[in-house]
């Protein structure tokens, strides 16, 4: 009955979200125009007073401080849950997902390369504060402050373990998305990370059917795969992961002795727990060292190959910019004239192009040059990511306890209460279980 009620609660919430979007679209129907005019769709919330923007920054800083305190002092999963609920309500449905740290790297990239654009201080704060916290305390932002992560967490029912090969492969996508988002923002094409955020339409109760369906799909997958968007797509999560790898303080399941019971490993829905090396594990053999050496030699090759591949794809990527697309339409029209209907987008664009063709063609040529540089950097970046991933997979890390991977751990505090040593420290009853025998240890015993 308990599981049925939970499924019913989730189904009711999905129906409420879908119904809210439908009501938002039908509450104020557009007027009828005989000319075929279509009402523009508002894609961003209205402007916000400056003092309210500073209030948002203050709330973000306070939530990050509370998250760090909950993770490292009381080590409370219940506290993280309530903080996540508040963040979902405030940053999600009240602030409608804007502004958020996830899309802020685009603003920073655009501001650095376009002097005419001044990046708001609040955007810089939303970009920097979670990263600074990650450098010292790990992914506290992901733990209980990110509304996208909180929404997925509330739909998690029965997590399953993602195979390691799939986890490592899909884990490269956030870096690819991050590089593409920065490249398109730097060239002035658009903010694709914000445009294709699958949860913003849910927060705003409006948006395209495609994005709404994508958001609902992520929530349905998230019932069985812990935080699929955060782990396999979120570009800002990739930055936080890099920061957490060098963090000063890191999450530990137990502050004292690990009993090797593996309960923490089964309590983590994100596959972030790493098991210790089995007793008597051999030292790295010469073959492993040779593999590492070859990978280090391969790293610059991957970077150069990625840069060349990215540069070769620059014409395709440049066509997404409206100025380049208009210039190519004009060039095709000069070679093979096509008669377009009156008031069609193509006819209107060509009419504007005819007024100043030299200016548009010059701007398109400049943009193509920028895209060649941007896509080459993007390709080199992805080659670097792949190379470092291969190097990390080849390294043998020595562990004596079950420890969360600092990059993969969301600091959600689920594993704390599963540890018998932690329960003893808190004065909670300890359930005696027979610890499963690790596969590696049983193999050595044989």
Which of 73, 233, 235 has its CA nearest to residue 140?
Answer: 73
Which of 383, 242, 374, 376 has its CA nearest to residue 300?
Answer: 383
Q: Rounded to 5 degrees, what angle do the CA atoms 186, 190, 195 make? A: 130
pLDDT tens sequence across 276-296: 876 655 556 777 788 888 999
The answer to whether residues 249 and 414 touch, using CB atoms and an 8 Å cutoff, is no
Helix and strand counts by DSSP (H, E) for the chain = 22, 2
pLDDT tens sequence across 23-69: 444 444 444 545 555 555 555 566 778 899 999 999 999 999 999 99
For residues 254, 259, 263 and 268, what is the CA-based torsion angle, rounded to 10 degrees?
Answer: 40
Question: Is the pLDDT score of 78 beyond 80?
Answer: yes
Q: Write the CB contacts of 156 (distance below 8 Å, at least 6 apart in sequence).
A: 222, 223, 226, 227, 269
User: Which pLDDT does position 3 carry in this prediction?
Assistant: 46
Q: What is the mean pLDDT of residues 96-115?
A: 90
Q: What is the mean pLDDT of residues 251-273?
A: 85
User: Which pLDDT does position 395 carry in this prediction?
Assistant: 82
Q: Write the CB contacts of 354 (distance below 8 Å, at least 6 apart in sequence).
A: none
Average pLDDT over all residues of the chain: 84
Question: Is the pLDDT score of 387 beyond 90?
Answer: yes
User: Which pLDDT does position 26 carry in this prediction?
Assistant: 41
User: Which pLDDT does position 38 carry in this prediction?
Assistant: 58
- Tokens 């201080």 appear where? 121
- Max CA pair span of the chain: 82
The answer to whether residues 265 and 409 touch, using CB atoms and an 8 Å cutoff, is no
Q: In this predicted structure, which of 5-9, 76-80, 267-271 has the lowest mean pLDDT?
A: 5-9
Between 173-186 and 235-245, two packed helices, what is the crossing angle to 10 degrees?
A: 110
C-alpha to C-alpha distance for 399 and 380, rounded to whole angstroms: 33
Question: What distance, in Å, lies between the first and last C-alpha atoms of the chain?
Answer: 45
Question: Is the pLDDT score of 14 beyond 90?
Answer: no
pTM of the model: 0.83
Phi, psi at 274, each rounded to 5°: -110, 130
Both tokens of 266, joined, read: 């089964």
Percent of the chain beyond pLDDT 90? 55
User: Which pLDDT does position 334 carry in this prediction?
Assistant: 84
C-alpha to C-alpha distance for 415 and 409, rounded to whole angstroms: 11
User: Which pLDDT does position 36 carry in this prediction?
Assistant: 55
Confidence band, pLDDT 50/70/90 cuts, at residue 446: very low
């Amino acid at each position: 009955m308990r599981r049925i009620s939970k499924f019913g609660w989730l189904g009711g919430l999905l129906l409420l979200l879908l119904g809210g979007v439908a009501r938002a679209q039908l509450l104020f129907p557009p007027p009828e125009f005989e000319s075929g005019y279509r009402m523009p769709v508002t894609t961003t919330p209205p402007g916000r007073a400056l003092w309210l923007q500073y209030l948002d920054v203050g709330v973000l800083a306070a939530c990050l401080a509370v998250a760090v305190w909950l993770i490292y002092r009381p080590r409370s999963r219940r506290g993280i849950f309530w903080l996540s609920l508040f963040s979902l309500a405030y940053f999600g449905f009240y602030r409608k997902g804007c502004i958020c740290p996830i899309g802020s790297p685009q603003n920073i990239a655009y501001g650095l390369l376009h002097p005419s654009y001044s990046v708001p201080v609040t955007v810089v704060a939303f970009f920097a504060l979670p990263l600074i916290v990650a450098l010292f305390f790990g992914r506290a932002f992901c733990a209980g402050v990110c509304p996208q992560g909180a929404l997925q967490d509330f739909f998690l029912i029965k997590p399953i373990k993602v195979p390691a090969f799939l986890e490592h492969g899909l884990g490269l996508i956030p870096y690819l998305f991050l590089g593409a988002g920065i490249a398109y923002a730097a060239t002035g094409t658009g903010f694709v990370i914000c445009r294709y955020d699958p949860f913003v339409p849910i927060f705003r109760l409006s948006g395209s059917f495609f994005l709404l369906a994508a958001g609902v799909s992520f929530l349905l997958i998230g019932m069985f795969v812990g935080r699929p968007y955060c782990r396999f797509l979120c570009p800002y999560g990739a930055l936080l992961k890099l920061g957490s790898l060098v963090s000063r303080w890191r999450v530990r399941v137990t502050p004292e002795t690990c009993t090797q019971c593996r309960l923490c490993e089964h309590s983590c829905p994100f596959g972030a727990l790493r098991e210790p090396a089995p007793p008597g594990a051999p030292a790295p053999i010469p073959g492993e060292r040779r593999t590492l050496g070859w990978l280090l030699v391969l790293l610059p090759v991957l970077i150069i190959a990625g840069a060349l591949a990215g540069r070769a794809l620059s014409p395709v990527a440049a066509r997404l910019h409206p100025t380049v697309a208009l210039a190519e339409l004009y060039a095709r029209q000069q070679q093979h004239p096509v008669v377009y209907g009156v008031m069609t987008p193509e006819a209107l664009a060509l009419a504007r192009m005819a007024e100043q063709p030299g200016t548009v063609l010059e701007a398109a040529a400049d943009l193509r040059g920028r895209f060649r540089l941007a896509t080459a950097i993007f390709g080199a970046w992805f080659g670097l990511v792949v190379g470092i991933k291969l190097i990390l997979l080849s390294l043998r890390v020595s562990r004596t306890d079950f420890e969360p991977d600092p990059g993969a751990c969301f600091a959600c505090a689920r594993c704390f209460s599963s540890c018998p040593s932690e329960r003893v420290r808190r004065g909670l009853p300890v359930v005696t279980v027979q610890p499963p025998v690790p596969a590696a240890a049983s193999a050595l015993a044989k």
